[in-house]
Chains A and B, each alone.
Chain A
Amino acid sequence: MAIGWYLVVSALIFCTGAGGVLARRNPLVILLCLELMLNGANLALVAFARMWGTEAGQVFALIVMVVAAAEVTVGLGLIVAIYRRRLPVDVDELSELHG
């Protein structure tokens, strides 16, 4: 398959994730949608690595996976802390820092 089709798939995954981040209200699902966006970027990076025949893009994708794992641990820790303090698990209600 041409590299362009991989890029189209990555763009679709990224846009799905972006729409989910904007539309959903559960912070768990928002974290999942962030994962989708990172995965879309990862697919584009690996596709470009294939296009150029160098492995730098794959190294970058691995670093992105590391950053995603770190983001997931901190985000899930935040969600557990929110739940422990009996606050609503809803990003629209958690607006204490909002302006």
Chain B
Amino acid sequence: MSAVLFFIAALGAISGAIGVVMLRNPFYSVLALAFHLVSLAALFLLLRAEFVAAGQVVVYAGAVMVLYVFVVAYVGGGEQLPSGGVLRVLGPLFAIALAVELCIAMLGSGLAGIKGKGAPFIPGFGTPRHIGKLFLTTYLFPFEAASILLLVAAVGAVVLARRRRGLEGAEEPELRVRAPRPAYTGTMAEAAGIRPGAREEEPEPEVETVGSAHGADEGGW
């Protein structure tokens, strides 16, 4: 039974991974990755890692995938980039060579532990109770470091992706020149019948120095 489940889950995981790489549309790649993650969670369950499997489904297939889908929807699929160049050929070749080498190393090794089915099962292995106890006793420092890392990453992502005024303003200054226009067009005060003279006490903004000089004798105001 476990062998059948293993083959189904492994097939799903590997086909999902190949789908991520092969599919041209990034949105379909994200969906393939979600499928891959769920299959991988099944493999984790077969390895008696219940908490890791639950975290995989909730955090990865839930939260991270939603983030990906939002960004793909924002950026768009992009133009289908043509493949070319040396790396497009050498990359898959390198990957296949690495896979063959690793498979030979795994299957041909004489290590007894790899051939076996693992250590005898301890009740409660991989449950949140055990993992939580380990996180708060033995691995307390990595736990805290991970929380600080998450905080730094969240702040960094907000800083990176926010609508900034500082950097882009240097290249393309915001145009705020108020072009001269005929009277009784435009503002709500004029639409309500208030004469333009009524707002003479308002300080005029300083920016309309460029266009207003010869705009005035062209007869707008």
Interface set of A (CB-CB < 8 Å, partner B) = 1-9, 11-26, 28-29, 31-33, 35-36, 39, 42-43, 46-47, 49-56, 58-59, 61-63, 65-74, 76-81, 83-85, 89-90, 92
Nearest Cβ in chain A — how far from B33, in angstroms?
5
Q: List 21 A-B contacts (CB under 8 A).
A: A2-B114, A2-B115, A8-B106, A9-B10, A15-B95, A16-B95, A18-B95, A19-B92, A21-B91, A23-B83, A32-B30, A35-B64, A53-B118, A53-B120, A65-B56, A67-B146, A67-B149, A74-B156, A76-B157, A78-B160, A83-B75
Nearest Cβ in chain A — how far from B30, in angstroms?
7
What chain A residues lie within 8 Å of B6 (beta carbons)? 1, 5-6
Nearest Cβ in chain A — how far from B113, in angstroms?
5
Nearest Cβ in chain B — how far from A40, in angstroms?
8
What chain A residues lie within 8 Å of B163 (beta carbons)? 84
Contact of B96 among A3, A15, A53, A73 (CB under 8 A): A15
| Contact in complex: B49, A58 (CB < 8 Å) | yes
Q: A32-B68, A53-B120, A81-B160 known; A8 and B94 CB under 8 Å?
A: no
Nearest Cβ in chain B — how far from A80, in angstroms?
4
Nearest chain-B residue to A52 (Cβ)?
B119
What chain B residues lie within 8 Å of A56 (beta carbons)? 134, 138-139
- Chain B, interface residues (CB within 8 Å), range: 35 or more
Contact of B107 among A4, A24, A89 (CB under 8 A): A4
| Contact in complex: A66, B52 (CB < 8 Å) | no
Cα–Cα, bound, A23→B93 (Å): 10
| Contact in complex: B94, A20 (CB < 8 Å) | no
Contact of B17 among A16, A62, A90 (CB under 8 A): A16
Cα–Cα, bound, A81→B33 (Å): 23
| Contact in complex: B20, A33 (CB < 8 Å) | yes
